[in-house]
């Protein structure tokens, strides 16, 4: 195994037996072979462990780690970055596919231009049978030399939400490790992109080389509400108060403050956040209202989670108590 691979690929997984073989094969079939594949298994209960063990014995570039407990998606996605040794890093989810040329073409762009921190290809959305559904138009080709211009364009792209496909591109690992990586809150991947764009340019390869799978069991469909997704990111935060929009706002401010840009650029980025406030003021107010009413909401959630006894169970319980007495 190469102790210093050019590219590190991190695959966080939980119960991925349905698609993980295809995902691993699409990585092993890359034309660019100087990589390591780090698989972090979040205590899967299906056949994921057996599948990954098999591949790890067949290819020494594959490192398989298994967590004793499910640490949450955010921890797992960050963990594969911390284990990475390569110059460039790429996330590879267990249900997505990569064209054979993806690593080669993205690495070439990063090699040739040090001002680019992230390179990604165009994306095709596929279903569980690998049939194409639609091409995703990302538009994150953010090539301005001015950080505030890239930051403004980024916010325009994500204002109404985004599939976040550039998250799966090739990223300079030394820069990625300067960030909090993936936070334990919804859309932390988008906030991460917003921080990375302060460090340098994004480049889009005008070819479909990434295939993102949409299926009934993916995280967005399985955990549709903010409350469910927060618990998916971090199980310890289940049914806790979380002000998501305010978290985004504060994380953007932190990112600007820590970015290696001039004071003028920081000021212009802060001004962009004033516009962000005008776009999101209603959601921010809703978060405040949720905080005020949280004691009532928490009481409702605790009542809702209590198991209910039917009438027959109540009668049987009464009979048993009388017999015991």
Both tokens assigned to 87: 């110059």
Q: Could you read off the pLDDT of 308-324 as tens digits, one per residue?
A: 544 444 444 444 444 44
Q: How far apart are CA 267 and CA 257, in angstroms?
A: 10
Q: Could you read off the pLDDT of 92-132 as tens digits, one per residue?
A: 999 999 999 999 999 999 999 999 999 999 999 999 999 99
Has this prediction a pTM greater than 0.75? yes
Q: Could you read off the pLDDT of 3-57 as tens digits, one per residue?
A: 799 999 999 999 999 999 999 999 999 999 999 999 999 999 999 999 999 999 9
Q: How far apart are CA 110 and CA 196, in angstroms?
A: 14
**pLDDT of 308:** 53
In this predicted structure, which of 77-86, 172-181, 190-199, 314-323 has the lowest mean pLDDT? Answer: 314-323
- Give the range with max mean pLDDT: 68-72, 135-139, 196-200: 196-200
Handedness of CA 231, 236, 238, 240 (dihedral sign): negative
Mean predicted confidence (pLDDT) in 226-248: 85
């Amino acid at each position: 195994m190469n102790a210093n691979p050019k590219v590190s690929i991190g695959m966080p997984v939980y119960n991925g037996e349905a698609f993980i073989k295809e995902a691993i094969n699409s990585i092993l079939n890359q034309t660019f072979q100087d990589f390591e594949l780090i698989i972090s298994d979040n205590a899967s209960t299906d056949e994921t462990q057996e599948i990954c063990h098999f591949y790890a014995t067949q290819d020494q570039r594959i490192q398989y780690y298994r967590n004793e407990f499910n640490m949450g998606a955010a921890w797992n996605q960050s963990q594969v970055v911390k284990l990475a040794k390569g110059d460039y890093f790429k996330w590879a989810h267990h249900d997505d596919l990569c064209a054979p040329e993806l690593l080669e073409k993205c690495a070439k762009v990063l090699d040739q231009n040090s001002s680019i921190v992230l390179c990604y290809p165009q994306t095709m959305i596929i279903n569980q049978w690998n049939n194409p559904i639609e091409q995703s138009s990302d538009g994150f080709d953010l090539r301005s030399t001015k950080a505030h211009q890239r930051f403004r364009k980024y916010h325009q792209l994500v204002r109404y939400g985004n599939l976040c496909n550039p998250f799966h591109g090739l990223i300079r690992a030394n820069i990625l490790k300067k960030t909090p990586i993936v936070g334990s809150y919804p859309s932390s991947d988008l906030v991460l992109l917003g921080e990375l764009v302060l460090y340098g340019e994004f480049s889009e390869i005008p070819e479909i080389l990434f295939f993102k799978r949409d299926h009934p069991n993916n995280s967005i469909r399985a955990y549709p509400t903010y409350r469910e997704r927060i618990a998916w990111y971090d199980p310890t935060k289940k049914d806790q108060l979380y002000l998501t929009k305010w978290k985004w706002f504060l994380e953007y401010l932190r990112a600007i403050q820590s970015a290696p840009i001039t004071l003028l650029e920081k000021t212009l980025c802060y001004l962009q956040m004033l516009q962000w406030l005008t776009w999101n003021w209603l959601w921010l107010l809703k978060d405040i209202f949720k905080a005020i009413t949280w004691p009532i909401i928490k009481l409702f959630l605790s009542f809702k989670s209590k198991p209910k006894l039917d009438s027959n169970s109540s009668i049987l319980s009464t009979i048993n108590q009388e017999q015991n007495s």
